[in-house]
Structure 1
Amino acid sequence: MAQWRLIVSQSLKISNIVPRNIPPPTSRLQPRVQTTLLTSTSAMLNFGIIGTGWITASFVTSAHSTKKWQLRAVYSRNSSSASDFSSKFSSDVAEPIKSHTELSELASDPEVQAVYIASPNSLHYAHAKQMLEGGKHVILEKPATSTSAELDSLFALAKSKNLFLIEAFRHLHEVNFKILKKELSRLGRIFGGSLNYAAYSSRYDNVLKGEVPNIFNLDFSGGSLVDLGVYPISAAIALFGAPKSSSYSPVMIATGADGGGTILLQYDGFTVSILASKIYTSTAPSEVFGEKGTLSVPTITDIESVKFLDAKLKGKATELGGKRCDLNLKEEAELFAGIIEGADWAAAKELEALSRAVIEVTESCRRANGLTFKVEKGQ
């Protein structure tokens, strides 16, 4: 497996993505809230969106709350969907929000500087490519692309045009994840970890009825590993670096996709086990075990608390966590605005290395289990 070394930036504080010994995620996103009217300013980043689902609405709300972003355009193939989405935020911004039904219109819109993409997984590559070719910075919801080859192509295109391409792993920028990372030094020698994210998806009800929703359809680059497993996988890589090897034992469902499973990440001297599922729910915490104690969080995303269980005090818990942000995507929106406005290429390179390491794990695990996406067939 290729190894990607990160330049650690003070703003991100994500570990070097290289295998090493370490020495001395779930509620839904918050519902939309009304934000203060944004005034047009040259310092504001005007952005467009592709995808009008709940995650997009959450990003727009969070972005507006930072006073650094202003929604200027909405793309949807359905004009009424674009208009309906725009109307939800029209009172938040000083300028009218445009609705586009053609991707080319958004890509060539001179008033749009960046585009947030939350379309179906299999469309991420084509949508991001068109926006980059149009001169837009791109923020991609996870998983950024279906394959590592697609990701390589997009990063090369972004570099050639002096543009930023950023994958949105929101949970890594939350205050309590940063605390979890910082407090690893309490543990001394690392013995292992257990990171869990299992939440029943209502889309599985459709599968039980004989339907094939996109999220459980390999033709649309679906499955639990890439849709939900990337949360704990990216967390492990942010905490410990890229693993030496990885394996996946999936639970297969009628659609031919994986509904969940167990992932093992092997490091020098320890193993991180990951439970990820969209077909059942687990309330098990996520923990990192060390010589001097254990760090425990109730979920790997939307972390409410960070506890240190002291080995010498029979597991007595000390709370280390801070107050979680009310808007789950605000911290990433703040960070991404700073990267783009400040031309912070070092921070962007760090996030790029993280994205590359994550897709190397998921791609290896998929292919070892015959989970082949439509885009890969015939290659």
Structure 2
Amino acid sequence: MIRFGIIGTNWITERLLSAIREMDDFSLTAVYSRSEERAREFASKYGAAAIFTDIEQMANSNEMDAVYIASPNSLHAKQAITFLSNGKHVLCEKPMASNTAEVEAMIQAAGQNHVLLMEALKTTFLPNFKSIQENIHKIGRVRRYVANYCKYSSRYDAYKQGEVLNAFNPVFSNGSLMDLGVYGVYPMVVLFGEPVEIKANSVMLESGVDGEGSLLATYRDMEAVIMHSKISDSYVPSEIQGEEGSIIINNISNPDKVEIRYRDGRREDISIKDDKEAMYYEVKEFIDLIKTGQVESNVNSYQHSTITAKILEDARKQFGLYYPADKV
């Protein structure tokens, strides 16, 4: 049984706990919130015995073996390093941190303390992503990767009324690229590695973050196009184009329908049906690694997280988005 603490009493933690409700080796034992009332309410709902309103006290406690961090992006690095330095394993929500320097510092802390650090980017552990990896050879030489994730934010209406919530506040290292674009970037890195060059554009909002944008990544013999938005919806699927056919992916962040369309007109459904919620697989990977004494995932590896962080940071700088965390 792996004892977990959770930082962040929000919808994403609710979703994670729903996904692993039948997992026998996960035990929620501690909850952190800035509000004692909120921490107590959340802990009571999910059966956690300990609550904390101080990160240092939580990290120093013996109530947990690992922690899941789902706080605002700008807090990931400091919080993760605090727990890693106290011998706790860390599952950190995507994006791993505000910039490359923070990601590298987190990795260094994990190595120094011989504990596991993993970025919680769910897509790359899903059965249908693995199906893409296993079947991609069927489309011949890959020439283009197109990832599209545009989803109107539930917080954008408040923004238009003059209320700038965390999702649109640069203080928290947020914006469309970091929050949604990463779902296109990380799978690209896992599938094809580090690009030779990237070019990025965005539509900037008055609050100082990107509302939407696009990224073009150049590889030696192919290119990748990533589109993302928090201020509009898109109903266009993602796609991997090869010389012999294309893989059509209905949802790049959570693919549940994947099909190959060949040049000769044939279609092949390579979808894998399963009854697990999407976040189940990243938690299972994390727990399995702890149980087998490993300190790095081969899927969401340090290399993949570092390359992704470099791409995100380079892209931001190209369209002029800098966070307070970049100046530290």
Q: Flag whether TM exceeds 0.5 (same fold).
A: yes
Which of 299, 305, 313 is the equivalent residue of 1:355? 305
Aligned to 1:111: 63
Q: Which runs of 5+ in 1 are unaligned?
A: 1-43, 91-95
Say whether 1:273 aligns with 2:225: yes
Q: Where do 1:39-54 residues align within 5 Å?
A: 44-54=1-11
Q: Which deviates the most, 324-333 or 292-301?
A: 324-333
- CA RMSD in angstroms comes to 1.4
1:288 pairs with 224, 227, 240, which one?
A: 240
SS at match of 1:295: strand
Counterparts of 1:150 and 1:204 in 2: how far apart (Å)? 28
The letter for the 1-side match of 2:46 is: F
* Aligned residue-pair number: 328
Equivalent residues of 1:195, 1:273 under 8 A apart: yes
- 1:321 paired residue number: 271
Is 1:136 the counterpart of 2:88? The answer is yes
Shift of 1:306: 1.1
- Which residue type is aligned with residue 66 of structure 1? M
After TM superposition, give the deviation of residue 197 of structure 1 in Å.
0.5
2:148 aligned partner: 196
Q: Tell me the secondary structure at the aligned position of residue 71 of structure 2.
A: coil
Aligned to 2:52: 100
Counterpart residue number, 2:181: 229
CA contact (8 A) 2:186 2:308 kept: yes
2:315 is matched with which residue? 365
- Give the whole-Å Cα distance in 1 for the aligned partners of 2:225 and 2:290: 35
Compute the displacement of 1:348 (Å): 5.2
Q: What letter corresponds to residue 228 of structure 2 in structure 1?
A: A
Structure 1 residue identity aligned to 2:208: G
The answer for the alignment partner of 1:163 in structure 2 is 115
The 8 Å contact of residues 64 and 70 in structure 1, kept in 2 or not, is answered as no
Greater relative contact order structure (CA < 8 Å, 6+ sep): 1
Which one of 143, 147, 169 corresponds to residue 99 of structure 2? 147
2:69 and 2:262 mapped to 1: Cα distance?
43
Q: CA deviation at 1:65?
A: 2.2
Which sections of structure 2, spanning at least 5 residues, go unmatched? none
Cα offset, 1:62, TM superposition:
2.5
**2:200 matched to 1:252?**
no
Q: 1:241 aligns with which of 174, 193, 217?
A: 193
- Residue deviations 1:116-175, cap 9 Å, x none? 000111111111111112221111001111111111111111100101111101111111
Q: Which residue of 2 aligns with 1:305?
A: 257
Task: Measure, in 1, the Cα distance between the counterparts of 2:55 and 2:258.
Answer: 43
In 1: Cα distance, 2:186 partner to 2:268 partner: 26
Rate the CA distance shift 1:235–1:325 in 2: closer, same or farther, 3 A. Answer: farther
- The separation in 2 between residues aligned to 1:278 and 1:257, in whole angstroms, is 11
Does 2:21 match 1:69? no
Q: Secondary structure at the match of 1:264?
A: strand
Range with greater deviation from structure 2 (223-232 or 349-358): 349-358
Where 1:125 maps in the other structure, the secondary structure is helix
CA separation of 1:345/1:82 partners in 2, compared to 1, >3 Å: closer, same or farther? closer
The structure 1 residue matched to 2:13, chosen from 19, 32, 56, is 56
Secondary structure at 2:215 match in 1: strand
Match of 2:284 in 1: 334
Identity of aligned residues (%): 35
Give the secondary-structure state (helix, strand or coil) at the position aligned to 1:246: strand
TM-score, scaled relative to structure 2:
0.96
Q: Is the 8 A contact 2:91 2:117 kept in 1?
A: yes
Q: What is the deviation of 1:194?
A: 1.1
Which of 81, 86, 91 lines up with 2:43 in the alignment?
86
TM-score, structure 1 as length reference: 0.84
Q: CA deviation at 1:75?
A: 0.6
Partner of 1:374: 324
